[in-house]
């Protein structure tokens, strides 16, 4: 598992859920504030933006902790061999069927960094860990539904925009999301 002098990555467990939910809310409310309105964020938290516990059960979701005597959970992210492109357990468009590595793109899912640890390379570390794990499972193409906030990082890492979609939210708002893809050799 990935380890730097600052961060240690490990597979997420069901016990991590309360800390993961708190991390995701802090991440979204601070780091997405320039990209989405408070009403869009309120409508998206817990549905479009949140943990898909299927990934924890599949062993494809990671958490990042600080290195030290009292590790803090400061990041998360995963990949999926299932068709669902984004969203938490109760999110829209749940498609649990398995993808074929020879034909399909692995899904890159739900990368969130704690705002106090942003712009320190943690998002990049989580992304490369997740891509490596998907590659080890035989996938050579990756796809994601990125928030507007994620686009600069993913573009830097070779992802290209496929299309922009507006995901309808329960409170009448819509969340603009960018479908992005990357092929690795
Ligand atoms: C998107 C996110 C995961 C990036 O995490 P991070 O740890 O800050 O990213 P990194 O430090 O690895 O960034 C690497 C590079 O990506 C680019 N980048 C990252 N965030 C950026 C931003 N907000 N604006 C512009 N460029 C950005 C920069 O080039 C950065 O390098 P630099 O800091 O040397 O300029 C983080 O902002 C986040 O958690 N956002 C809220 C949740 C979210 O929207 N996640 C995406 C879900 S699909």
CATH code at 152?
A: 3.40.630.30
Residue 185: pLDDT band by 50, 70, 90 thresholds?
confident
Residue 93: its pLDDT value, please? Answer: 86
Domain count within the chain: 1
Residue 23: pLDDT band by 50, 70, 90 thresholds?
very high
- For ligand 1, whether the C-beta of 63 sits within 6 Å is no
Q: Residue 105 Cα, ligand 1 centroid: separation in angstroms?
A: 23
pTM of the complete model: 0.97
- Has residue 3 got a pLDDT over 90? no
The answer to whether residue 2 is domain-embedded is no
Residue to substitute in 6, 113, 178 for testing ligand 1 pocket (most ligand atoms within 8 angstroms of CB): 113
Average pLDDT, the chain: 96
- For ligand 1, whether the C-beta of 113 sits within 6 Å is yes
Residue 4: its pLDDT value, please? Answer: 86
The answer to whether residue 70 is domain-embedded is yes
Across the strands, what pairs with 181? 143, 160
- Has residue 115 got a pLDDT over 80? yes
Among the residue ranges 92-96, 140-144, 147-151, the one predicted with the least confidence is 92-96
The answer to whether residue 54 is domain-embedded is yes
pLDDT digit string, tens, across residues 26-35: 999 999 999 9
Range of 167's domain?
A: 7-183
The answer to whether residue 149 is domain-embedded is yes
- Has residue 63 got a pLDDT over 90? yes
The answer to whether residue 170 is domain-embedded is yes
């Amino acid at each position: 598992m990935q380890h730097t002098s600052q961060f240690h990555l490990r597979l997420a467990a069901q016990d991590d859920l309360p800390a993961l939910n708190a991390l995701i809310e802090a991440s979204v409310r601070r780091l997405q504030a320039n990209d989405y309105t408070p009403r869009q964020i309120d409508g998206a938290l817990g549905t479009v933006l949140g943990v898909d516990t299927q990934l924890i059960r599949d062993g494809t979701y990671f958490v990042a902790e600080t290195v030290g005597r009292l590790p803090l959970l400061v990041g998360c992210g995963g990949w999926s061999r299932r068709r669902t492109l984004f969203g938490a357990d109760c999110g829209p468009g749940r498609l649990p069927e398995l993808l074929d590595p020879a034909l399909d793109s692995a899904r890159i899912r739900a990368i969130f960094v704690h705002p106090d640890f942003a712009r320190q390379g943690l998002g990049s570390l989580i992304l490369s860990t997740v891509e490596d794990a998907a590659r080890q499972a035989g996938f050579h193409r990756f796809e994601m539904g990125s928030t507007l906030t994620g686009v600069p990082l993913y573009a830097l890492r070779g992802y290209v925009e496929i299309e922009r979609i507006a995901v309808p939210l329960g409170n009448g708002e819509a969340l603009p999301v960018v479908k992005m893809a990357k092929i690795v050799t």
